[in-house]
Structure 1
Amino acid sequence: MIALRPILYVLGILYVGLATVMLVPAMVDVATKNADWQAFVFSAFLTGLVGMLLAIAVDGSLKKGLSMRQTFLLTVLAWITIPGFGALPFFWLGLGPADAVFESVSGFTTTGGTVLTGLDSLPPGILVWRSMMQWTGGIGIAVMGIFLLPFLRVGGMQLFQSESGEGGDKIVSRSVELIRLMWVVYGGLTLACAAGYLATGMDAFDAVNHAMATLSTGGFSTHDESFGAFTAKGPAWVAILFMLAGALPFVLVIQAVRGAPFQLWQDPQVRALFAIIGFITFCLTVYLGATQDLGFFDALRLAAFTVVSLITTTGFYMVDYTVWGTVVVGMVLMLAFVGGCTGSTSGGVKIFRYLVLLAAVRSHLRRMVRPNRVTSETFGKARLTPDLSSAVLVYLVLYIGSVAMVSIGLAAFDIDFITCLSAAASAIGNIGTALGPLVGPDGTFGALPDGAKWLLAAAMLLGRLELIVVLVMIDPDFWSN
């Protein structure tokens, strides 16, 4: 059996860290003379107490480090339990269990779907807490994508093992140093984003909150209208730039900051991401110019913002794009299955898996024409092995199957088809926005039945843990020696 004491020790440390973070929105409420600071102090006390008791009870158990199986289990338990503690402030402020857990899971997984309305009048502390959940969750997602998933060979992620392992392509000699660099770059980009928002007309509170939600590709806003609440045109372009930054491979972003900017463009998935965004943005710009009576620059801004927000799974919006016609609705549903790059904060299937699938299809077609031909497909400098291709195919089948199963589960609550399908795709892909009269860009998930919220919360965690990670936990071999 897996030794649980080291896992519990690390969880205890994480809970203490989470409790410390909870004190930030408490201080914001104190500074603004809002009585809701008590919710965060109580939540921080309870979370910190549990964390300290765990850490003290199993102190010294981490001397030998963590095995891969222990790290695997730790990751799953952390993603399940941390949103539970993160929901405590929402409980205190009057949300029901389903709403509180949904909001917390949506925050930490950087999904961005919300059950709250009247954001413009909510206490500042709760708005800051929503943004901080996404910001901390975003860096956690990047760390998981860089360090854990490649070695677990999840959905073809082993292709990127050389970027974080012991191979010659690693950019630093120790994982601890890489994590430190990630925090520095992540924090620096967040500050730069906030400065950009300030310079284009946002006030300081909105700038800081939206910067955290932008870099994490989370999408929580301080306004019900999201970016539609800002009349200036500048914030949209700042958001586009930093949503793209959040969707890029973080290892390559660090390399770019350290003086190797061309490493980014040499990555096939980065080139593919920009090519897809450029093509769809061009098509949507032309469509909006022809059907919505918009000038070129207005159409370009709306098109670029919408496309980048959807592909990077951020979920910000400027207008209700469903009124643009069924063509756009179909495009939105299609983009829900794309996603950003591997090792980024974005969700979705990820660009690299589509590139691997395309290479596998191309290789298969060549062998059909010439059965004796030896083909060798590559991804950048890496050779695509049959094992890697099959891992990607399995992941894609599981992804589509999960969306279908969640859709069927939602249909059991007598919800219309488009809402079921788009909400399921939104949850599994950690996108946030969906389609339909209830959960469209102008709606929230608050109108759904509590059972549907629990199901979608589980789907958000399933999608964030890359599906296979959770399924492996069911395998008896994982628990045996």
Structure 2
Amino acid sequence: MRPDAKRSPAPVDQARMRPVPHGAASAWSPPAMRPVVHLASGMLLALSVFMLLPAGIDALHGNPDWKPFLFACIGLSTFAALVFRRTRCDLTRGLTLRQAFVLTPLSWATISGCAAIPFYLSAHPGLGGNVTHSYFEAVSGLTTTGATVMSGLDQTAPGILLWRALLQWLGGIGIIATVVAILPALGVGGMQLFRTESSDRSEKVMPRAREIAKSIAVIYTAMTLLCALAYWAAGMSPFVAATHALSTLSTAGFSTADASLARWDIPAVHWIAIVGMIAGALPFVLYIRAVRRDMAIWRDAQVRTFLGLILFVSSWLALWLWWRGFYAPEAAIRHALLNTVSVVTTTGFASSDYTLWGNAATGLFFGLMFVGGCTGSTSGGMKIFRFQVMAIMLRAHFLRLLYPRGVFPRVYAGKLLSDDVVGSVVVFFAVYFICYGALTIALMGFELDFLTSASAAVGALSNVGPGLGTHIGPAGNYAGLPMGAKWLLCFGMLLGRLELFTVLILFMPRFWRG
């Protein structure tokens, strides 16, 4: 090379902002994907261990379905252990931003596929041998959506019922806590994964991600146990109480009965479900503060707005039900509150078929399906935080129309909103409704009516579960939908659970260029 020749600058790794040597492996060469595959196989290895629980339950009840769980456990653990060992690598320097974005949807989609294996191998008439139904049920459980293709739940083997509940529990905050606990042990920043899973940035209340993970896991498990004991004391059997507690705290909604909570016409059961769903929809980071005697949970703007919305809507709905003669005062309050909380928290439990309460109530529940719970909780939806930011922006905009020369700062929880936060919320709303419209139109392409398509689309994206209409309403399920529609909804559930951008960014050609 001539002395005066100009040498091209070395490329820069934008995720870590350090130079990449010339001739190094490209962004998506096998060495670059090795950490992603290694971590994904570790999650599969953990999933295989949980398969032993339904296998044991079925074996105790003398049900032959223990074999599919045991065979799936042995096969998956062997495969995952071999891949985990084969892809062992140095993770002390963490993941790049691109690797983290790939890891999140890859791990969720792969875990869903492996979690569907026991369903496929089982003798259940709606799941056994049906790839579409098995994968749909697994995705619905892990994304805490609660949409189901199963019927005859009252006569279903206990192992399958427990596996559905465990998938929800893991897919709620349990899987996040597990990942945060595993990654620091491998030298990986756990909060990086959490950040790619959700566009919201949770505040760190402890200095290390491992301590956050342990605290969340302990609190989540303790709350689940308390909920199970409460259900048991209220009249449920121990097994049914445990499965419903797993579904309640994860705000997912799978039940052991086709009629959901309407199967237990016990006021105490309904009130326990209400409290449990609200607890699961609050930010878990605030529970950590409460344990440390910092009661910020009652001062948090998001929590106060969330509880205020539930109180206002359920009060109006209870008056409507009492005035129209559907229920007596106490029952009207209880059913209005339970179903409102269930939809807002994206749980999907139902104590009654609320589509029979009139068009006004049906329209109200359709609107509530978009809302969701608080950021940092197990619930889905668009999240209360984003609606608060949009309200602040709209107020400032209208004030500027009235007073063009005025200065109206955008303040949330006593802090100025940065342009970055405001822009992110606006883009999220735009992308959400674009995806919602596209998914609705795509479902209508399968000759589904508008109400079924529109409610199924928002039910998938917001991870609510039950939709509206005769087919997928609170009294129905998704088994009757065309096969292609079910696969579209699987994609929609994963898209909604991973906050849209984590999945959609993979479809950008620029993302895959080295």
With normalisation by structure 2, the TM-score equals: 0.88
> Compared with structure 1, are the counterparts of its residues 76 and 150 closer, same or farther at alpha carbon in structure 2 (3 Å cutoff)?
closer
Q: Indicate yes or no: 2:83 matched with 1:34.
A: no
CA distance in 2, matches of 1:95, 1:265: 49
Q: Which residue, 72, 76, 84 being the options, matches 1:55?
A: 84
Alignment match, 2:424: 391
Give how far 1:48 is off.
1.1
Q: Is the 8 A contact 1:5 1:61 kept in 2?
A: no
Q: Please give the per-residue CA displacement for 1:66-113, whole angstroms capped at 9, x wherever unaligned.
A: 233322221111111100000001110214111111000000000000
Alignment match, 1:80: 109
Alignment match, 1:108: 142
CA distance in 2, matches of 1:238, 1:131: 17
Q: Indicate yes or no: 2:213 matched with 1:179.
A: yes
Alignment match, 1:374: 407
Alignment match, 1:168: none
Alignment match, 1:194: 228
Q: Indicate yes or no: 2:146 matched with 1:134.
A: no
Q: Which residue, 188, 191, 200 being the options, matches 1:147?
A: 191
Give ranges in structure 1 of 5+ residues lacking alignment. 165-170
Q: Indicate yes or no: 2:391 matched with 1:358.
A: yes
Alignment match, 1:273: 306
Q: Is the 8 A contact 1:83 1:101 kept in 2?
A: yes
Alignment match, 1:207: 241
CA distance in 1, matches of 2:33, 2:169: 28
Q: Indicate yes or no: 2:161 matched with 1:124.
A: no
Q: Is the 8 A contact 1:216 1:246 kept in 2?
A: yes
Q: Indicate yes or no: 2:464 matched with 1:431.
A: yes
- Matched to 1:369, the amino acid is L
Q: Indicate yes or no: 2:282 matched with 1:248.
A: yes
CA distance in 1, matches of 2:469, 2:193: 34
Greater relative CO (CA pairs within 8 A, separation 6+):
1
Alignment match, 1:300: 333
Q: Is the 8 A contact 1:9 1:61 kept in 2?
A: no
Looking at CA atoms only, which structure, 1 or 2, has the larger radius of gyration?
2
CA distance in 2, matches of 1:278, 1:191: 27
Bigger Cα displacement from structure 2, 467-476 vs 104-113: 467-476
Q: Secondary structure at the match of 2:362?
A: helix
CA distance in 2, matches of 1:212, 1:236: 15
- Matched to 1:440, the amino acid is G
CA distance in 2, matches of 1:293, 1:92: 44
- The number of equivalent residue pairs is 470
Q: Is the 8 A contact 2:396 2:410 kept in 1?
A: yes
CA distance in 2, matches of 1:105, 1:213: 15
- Matched to 1:11, the amino acid is A
- Matched to 1:339, the amino acid is G
Alignment match, 2:53: 24
> Compared with structure 1, are the counterparts of its residues 66 and 359 closer, same or farther at alpha carbon in structure 2 (3 Å cutoff)?
same
Q: Is the 8 A contact 2:100 2:196 kept in 1?
A: no
Give ranges in structure 2 of 5+ residues lacking alignment. 1-26, 123-127, 181-189
Q: Is the 8 A contact 1:142 1:343 kept in 2?
A: no
Q: Is the 8 A contact 1:429 1:463 kept in 2?
A: yes
Give how far 1:230 is off.
0.7
Give how far 1:475 is off.
2.5
Alignment match, 1:221: 255
Q: Which residue, 63, 72, 76 being the options, matches 1:43?
A: 72
Alignment match, 1:466: 499
Bigger Cα displacement from structure 2, 295-304 vs 57-66: 57-66
Q: Is the 8 A contact 1:191 1:211 kept in 2?
A: yes
**What is the Cα-based RMSD across aligned positions, in Å?**
1.7
Q: Which residue, 425, 434, 437 being the options, matches 1:401?
A: 434
Q: Secondary structure at the match of 1:338?
A: coil
Give how far 1:476 is off.
3.4
Q: Indicate yes or no: 2:342 matched with 1:309.
A: yes
Alignment match, 2:93: 64
